[in-house]
C-alpha cells in the first residue's frame, strides 16, 4: 500500500506503479477469496473501501493542505464569536430602540444615526478629544527623544528604559486612583509645588479649565512608555554598521538622527500616529475613573456608556459606537492617503 506514497519509483513512469497497485489488489482479493470477481471490480464496495484507503496518501495531502487552516480555525472561531458576532449584534441594535433588557421591540431604521448627527450634545464632546490628541503628540515627541537617547550607549540605560516603560505596565484603574490622590487639594502635587513656593495651586480636577489638561497629562504619563518601547525596538533594528559608517564620515548625533534613525523608524512613527488618533477619539479609562465624565471631561466613549446604561438607550448608544468606528476608519484612511507607506532605503 505504501507504493505510491513517495512516488518516484526508480523507473520514473507511472505505469509500473499502477501495475504494482493492481497486483497488490489482486493478491488481496485472492487471499480473501471474496466474491469480488462477480461484480465489476470498480463497483465492488470492498474495492471502494480499498480505493478510499488507497486515497489515504492523497487524503493526507489534503489534510496537510488543511493544516494551516485548522490552526487558524481556532483563532478565527474565537474572533468570530467574541468580536464579529457582537459587532454584528451592535449593528443590529443600532437600528432598533432596544433598552438593553428583554426582547427588541421596534426597528427604527436610521433614526438613531440621524439623532447622533443632529443632536449637538452628542457630537460636541469630540472637543474633549483634542486635549488627548495634542497630548499624544507630546507623548510621541517625549518617547522619541528618550528612545533615541537611550539607544546610544548611555550609563544605566537599562535602568532608565525600565523606568520609562514601567507606567505602561500598571493597569489603568490603578493609575486613575494614584493620580486622583495626586491631584487632590492638598495632595501630593500641591505639596510638592508648595516646596517650590507655589502656595495657591488650582483645583487640578475641580477647575473645568484645567481638568482636561490634568487628565490628558495622566494619559501621556501612562502611554509614553509604550511609544518609547516601540521606537526603541525600531531604532535597535537599524543595522549597527550604518552608525559606524556615519561616524567614519564624521556625522554628529543630530545628523545621525535625521538621516538614519528618523527615516529608519518612519513606519513605526506612522503606526503610532494612527494609534494616537484613534486613541484620542476613544479615550475612556482615565477620565471615567478619575471624574466619571463630570465637569466637562466626558469623552465620546463615556457618553456612549452613559447613553446605554444611564439613559438605557442601547439602540442609540450602538449607533454612536458605530459612528465612532466609522470616524476612526476615515481618519486612518486619510492618514494613509496623506502619508503613504514609503519604502525606506537607508543605504
Partner 1 sequence: MASRKAIVGLAAVAAATLLLTSCTASGSGDGGDSGEVEGDITFLTNRTDLQTDGTWDEYIAEFQKEYPDVNVKVEAITNYEDDVTTRLSTPNGYGDVLLIPNSVTPSQYPDFFEALGDADDLADTYRFLAPKTVDGVQYGIALGGNANGVLYNTEVFADAGVTETPATEEDFLAALEAVKGTGAVPLYTNYKDGWPLGGQWTNIVGAVSGDPDAQTAMAHDEEPWTEGTDIYALDSLLFDAVHEGLTEEDPLTTNWEQSKGDFATGKIGSMVLGSWAISQFQAAAEDAGVSKDVVGFMPFPTNVGGQQYATIAGDYYLGVNKNSSHTAAAKAWLDWLIEESGFTDTQGMISAVKSAALPENLGTLEESGVELVELSPAPAGEESLFSDTADLSQVDVWGNIYRQKLIDIARGEADGDKDSYFAQLNEQWGSAVSELAG
Three-state SS annotation for the chain:
CCCCCCCCCCCCCHHHHHHHHHHHHHHHHHHHCCHHHHCCCCCCHHHHHHHHHHHHHHHHHHHHHHHHHHHHHHHHHHHHHHHHHHHHHHHHHCCECCCCCCCCCCECCCHHHHHHHHCHHHHCCHHHHHHHHHHHHHHHHHHHHHHHHHHCCCCCHHHHHHHHHHHHHCCHHHHHHHHHHHHCCCCHHHHHHHHCCCCCCCCCCCCHHHHHHHHHHHHHHHHHHHHHHHHHHHHHCCCHHHHHHHHHCCCCHHHHHHHHHHHHCHHHHHHHHHHHHHHHHCCCHHHHHHCCCCCCCCCHHHHHHHHHHCCCCHHHHHHHHHHHHHHHHHHHHHHHHHCCCCCCCCC
Does residue 338 belong to the site contacting partner 1 (CB under 8 A)? no
Q: Is the Cβ of residue 209 or residue 241 nearer to partner 1 in the bound state?
A: 209
Site for partner 1 in 134-163 (CB under 8 A): none
Is residue 244 within 8 A of residue 215, CB to CB? The reply is: no
The CB-of-77 to partner 1 minimum distance in angstroms stands at 4
Judged by CB under 8 A, the stretch of 203-211, 223-231, 273-281, 320-328 that binds partner 1 is 203-211
Among 85, 138, 149, 193, binds partner 1 (CB under 8 A): 85
Is residue 160 within 8 A of residue 241, CB to CB? The reply is: no
Does residue 199 belong to the site contacting partner 1 (CB under 8 A)? no
Identify any residues that bridge with 96 across adjacent strands, giving them in sequence order.
Answer: 107
Is residue 300 within 8 A of residue 116, CB to CB? The reply is: no
The CB-of-48 to partner 1 minimum distance in angstroms stands at 16
Q: Is the Cβ of residue 183 or residue 231 nearer to partner 1 in the bound state?
A: 183
Q: Is the Cβ of residue 231 or residue 288 nearer to partner 1 in the bound state?
A: 288
Does residue 192 belong to the site contacting partner 1 (CB under 8 A)? no
Judged by CB under 8 A, the stretch of 11-19, 27-35, 69-77, 277-285 that binds partner 1 is 69-77
296: cell is 466637562
Site for partner 1 in 158-187 (CB under 8 A): 180, 183-185
Judged by CB under 8 A, the stretch of 4-12, 63-71, 125-133, 317-325 that binds partner 1 is 63-71
Q: Is the Cβ of residue 65 or residue 337 nearer to partner 1 in the bound state?
A: 65
Total interface residues for partner 1 by CB under 8 A: 39
Q: Is the Cβ of residue 49 or residue 59 nearer to partner 1 in the bound state?
A: 59
Site string for partner 1, 276-315 (x = CB under 8 A): ---------------xxxxxx---------xx--xxxx--
Does residue 259 belong to the site contacting partner 1 (CB under 8 A)? no
Among 45, 100, 109, 162, binds partner 1 (CB under 8 A): 100
The CB-of-66 to partner 1 minimum distance in angstroms stands at 5
Closest CA to 287 of 273, 270, 302: 302
Does residue 109 belong to the site contacting partner 1 (CB under 8 A)? no
Is residue 147 within 8 A of residue 202, CB to CB? The reply is: no
Judged by CB under 8 A, the stretch of 87-95, 100-108, 146-154, 262-270 that binds partner 1 is 100-108
**Rounded Cα–Cα distance for residues 179 and 11 (Å):** 79
The CB-of-131 to partner 1 minimum distance in angstroms stands at 16
Does residue 208 belong to the site contacting partner 1 (CB under 8 A)? yes
Among 1, 48, 73, 107, binds partner 1 (CB under 8 A): 73
The residues of the shown chain that bind partner 1, judged by CB under 8 A, are 59, 62, 65-66, 69-70, 73, 77, 80-81, 85, 99-102, 121, 180, 183-185, 203, 205-209, 211, 291-296, 306-307, 310-313
Amino acid at each position: 500500500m505504501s507504493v505510491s506514497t513517495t512516488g518516484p519509483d526508480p523507473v520514473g513512469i507511472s505505469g509500473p506503479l499502477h501495475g504494482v497497485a493492481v497486483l497488490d489488489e489482486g493478491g488481496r482479493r485472492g487471499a480473501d477469496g471474496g466474491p469480488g470477481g462477480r461484480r465489476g471490480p470498480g463497483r465492488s464496495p470492498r474495492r471502494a473501501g480499498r480505493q478510499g484507503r488507497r486515497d489515504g496518501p492523497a487524503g493526507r495531502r489534503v489534510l496537510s493542505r488543511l493544516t494551516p487552516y485548522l490552526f487558524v480555525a481556532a483563532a478565527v472561531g474565537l474572533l468570530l464569536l467574541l468580536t464579529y458576532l457582537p459587532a454584528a449584534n451592535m449593528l443590529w441594535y443600532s437600528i432598533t430602540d432596544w433598552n438593553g433588557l428583554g426582547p427588541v421591540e421596534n426597528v427604527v431604521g436610521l433614526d438613531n444615526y440621524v439623532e447622533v448627527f443632529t443632536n449637538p450634545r452628542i457630537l460636541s464632546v469630540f472637543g474633549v478629544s483634542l486635549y488627548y490628541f495634542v497630548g499624544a503628540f507630546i507623548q510621541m515627541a517625549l518617547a522619541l527623544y528618550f528612545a533615541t537617547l537611550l539607544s546610544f550607549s548611555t550609563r544605566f540605560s537599562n535602568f532608565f528604559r525600565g523606568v520609562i516603560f514601567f507606567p505602561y505596565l500598571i493597569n489603568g484603574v490603578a493609575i486613575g486612583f494614584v493620580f486622583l490622590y495626586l491631584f487632590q487639594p492638598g495632595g501630593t502635587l500641591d505639596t510638592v509645588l508648595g516646596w517650590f513656593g507655589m502656595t495657591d495651586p488650582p483645583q487640578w480636577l475641580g477647575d473645568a479649565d484645567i481638568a482636561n489638561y490634568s487628565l490628558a497629562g495622566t494619559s501621556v504619563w501612562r502611554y509614553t512608555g509604550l511609544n518609547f518601547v516601540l521606537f526603541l525596538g525600531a531604532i535597535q533594528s537599524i543595522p549597527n554598521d550604518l552608525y559606524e559608517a556615519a561616524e567614519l564620515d564624521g556625522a554628529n548625533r543630530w545628523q545621525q538622527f535625521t538621516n538614519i534613525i528618523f527615516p529608519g523608524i518612519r513606519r513605526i512613527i506612522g503606526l503610532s500616529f494612527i494609534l494616537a488618533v484613534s486613541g484620542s477619539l476613544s479615550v475612556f479609562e482615565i477620565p471615567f475613573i478619575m471624574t466619571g465624565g463630570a465637569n466637562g471631561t466626558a469623552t465620546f466613549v463615556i457618553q456612549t456608556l452613559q447613553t446605554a446604561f444611564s439613559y438605557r438607550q442601547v439602540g442609540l448608544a450602538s449607533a454612536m459606537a458605530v459612528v465612532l468606528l466609522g470616524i476612526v476608519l476615515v481618519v486612518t484612511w486619510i492618514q494613509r492617503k496623506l502619508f503613504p507607506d514609503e519604502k525606506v532605503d537607508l543605504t
